[in-house]
Amino acid sequence: MTIKTFALGGDLTINRLGFGAMRLVADSVDGPPRDPGTGIAVLRRAVELGVNHIDTAGFYRRGAVQANELIRRALSPYRDDLVIASKVGPLPTPDGVLSGHARPDQLRSLVEADLRSLGLDWLDLVYLRADGMTEPAGGSIAERFAVLAELREQGLIRHLGVSNVNAAQLAEAQEIAPVAAVQNRYADDVGLLAECEDAGIAYVPYFPLGGGVSPLDAERLSAIAARLGATAVQVHLASLLAISPSLLAIPGTGSLDHLEENVAANDLSLDDGEADPVTPSR
């Protein structure tokens, strides 16, 4: 049976099926802002349904619609068991289009901005989102990760993560401070996932539903879905969760119907052969 929870950083128990907040603000990189009222309703329903891991970032914004602000308006005062994870690194234009990467000396103010917009005294998990659009650009992250490690020492951050990294960058970060989570695009990352599993690190694939850019294997999924009376998306999410007990899913949606569908994937029981990895192709 699939284990439904994971102890993030060894001490924060979260449900492995979480929520990605990026789609609350827009459905595509150049799409219009979405309705904030719907975003707030989606967040409240997610928590009602048992989601207690929300992945966000200060740079998830489109026009006046900002994910962190929606989260604060929807969910604060926060439940004790809610884990909000943020990312710093990319620098956005006011409209949320990524325009570069923060220098080490800019990271503290980005973390402080997240604390303000979310209305928190500390952040449970902050990833250093390293360079590269959809795959790691490589290069040293030591100087930037050390800044986050210092903020952790100062109590502004509870656990640290790295995102869009290769094995060498993960090892470099681990030399500086404990890493609680890796958030990468899953496509070719099987080796790093195994390493995370061994080290008790959460592995969080972004674009868990293909991000709207990589199609799911509809034919294969639909056959299993028909047997189970489920949808192809649900079978895909259940298969993803079956890959490893260290894998956390953060499907993103700005739709109440899709949210209900995605969270219900948690209750699907796949047969052995059906749980083969179903990674969206690039």
Active site residues: 60
Return the range that interacts with ligand NAP (CB under 6 A); candidates 98-106, 112-120, 151-159, 246-254: 246-254
154, 99, 149, 26: which is closest to 162 by C-alpha? 149
CA atoms within 13 A on the CB side of 27: 8
Torsion of CA 191, 143, 54, 157, to 10 degrees: 130
> Taking CB under 6 A as the rule, does residue 59 contact ligand NAP?
no
Residue 38 touching ligand NAP (CB under 6 A) = no
| Nearest C-alpha neighbor of 241 from the set 186, 160, 166, 161 | 186
First to last CA, the chain: 30
20 binds ligand NAP per the rule CB under 6 A:
yes
Least Å from the CB of residue 98 to ligand NAP: 10
Of 55 and 69, the one with the shorter C-beta distance to ligand NAP is: 55
* Smallest distance from ligand NAP to CB 279, Å: 11
Instruction: Tell me the CA distances in angstroms from 146 to 105, 139, 179, 203, 275, one per residue in order.
Output: 11, 15, 12, 21, 39
Binding positions for ligand NAP, 154-173, rule CB under 6 A: 163-164
| Binding residue (CB under 6 A) for ligand NAP from 14, 17, 21, 102 | 21
Contact between 233 and ligand NAP (CB under 6 A)?
yes
SS3 184: strand
Q: Which residues bind ligand NAP (CB under 6 A)?
A: 20-23, 27, 55, 87, 129, 163-164, 183, 206-212, 233, 250-255, 258, 261-262
